Amino acid sequence: MAQLKVEHITHSYNMNREILPVLNDLTISVNSGQFVALLGPSGCGKSTLFNIISGLIQPHSGIVYVNKNKIQGISGAFGYMQQKDLLLNWRTVLENVLIGPEIQKRSNIKAEKEALKLLAQLGLQGFANSYPTQLSGGMRQRVALVRTLLMQKVILLLDEPFGSLDAMTRTVMQSILLDIWQEGRQTVLLITHDIEEALLLADKIYVLTARPASIKAEIDVPLSRPRDIADRELIKLKSELFQMLKVEMEHVFDD
């Protein structure tokens, strides 16, 4: 179990000798075993935030804590699934998902058994010996999720894990992810553009402003699971979130 805190993160990019502010004094908190979602306009800096948390880039200011310990650089504390699947085309599906256990020098037999179980759970049974070039985009994304889960990290950073899936497959994957999370109780921070997805999965939702992103709202989702998209309280929350995001999207186009 691990608590994640991101405090006062500010970051900018130098774009053709011009400064592009991306994150502005952003603070979020994810308790141990909590599932938290980030919603915000496209391009507001959500992926940049994940790159900072994981240590891939250093913020101009601000601090990341795990269990009150300051994190600097790549710490190995996170299982990070990026928007791009980043699969290695010369390795089979099974070899791709076993990269984490290989690096960690875990038992091959045990890791392979867990890998095959997860592949089957995510509808990829029979594809263990296939290569990424033989898979659809949605299948590659599911392989990337299995690879992330097999890292067995207590904090998961999931950047649009179902963004390339069709609506029906996305619904099934959301349910499977929720089952896996409820079994292992990892700490999860999820980026999504889908309001319903955030409401169906998360305990808490942070709404970000247009770039440079700051916290517009912090919304608790006090609904028992499994959740129904027809639930009155969920519909009410969906309407509130939609209006918040609509305002921020208007700011994007005004700029």
- Into which CATH architecture does domain 1-73+187-255 fall? 3-Layer(aba) Sandwich (3.40)
Alpha carbon distances (Å) from 163 to 54, 148, 155, 197, 240: 21, 16, 20, 11, 23
**Radius of gyration, CA atoms only, the chain:** 18
* 82-96 CB burial, b ≥16 within 10 A, e <16: bbebebeeeebbbbb
Predicted confidence pLDDT, tens digits, the chain (255 residues): 689 999 999 999 988 878 889 999 999 999 999 999 999 988 888 999 999 999 999 999 999 999 988 988 777 789 999 888 999 999 999 999 999 998 888 878 889 999 999 999 998 999 999 999 999 988 998 999 999 999 989 899 999 988 878 888 888 889 889 988 998 889 999 999 899 999 999 999 999 999 999 999 999 999 998 899 899 999 999 999 999 999 888 776 665
Q: What is the pLDDT at residue 253?
A: 65
Distance (Å, whole) CA 122 – CA 65: 32
Taking the CA of residue 181 as centre, how many other CA atoms within 13 Å lie in the half-sphere pointing to its CB?
Answer: 25
Q: What is the pLDDT at residue 1?
A: 65
Nearest to 122 by CA among 90, 69, 161, 86: 161
Provide the β-strand partners of residue 169.
none
Q: What is the pLDDT at residue 254?
A: 62
Nearest to 173 by CA among 141, 212, 126, 134: 141
Q: What is the pLDDT at residue 208?
A: 95
Q: What is the pLDDT at residue 168?
A: 86
Q: What is the pLDDT at residue 255?
A: 58
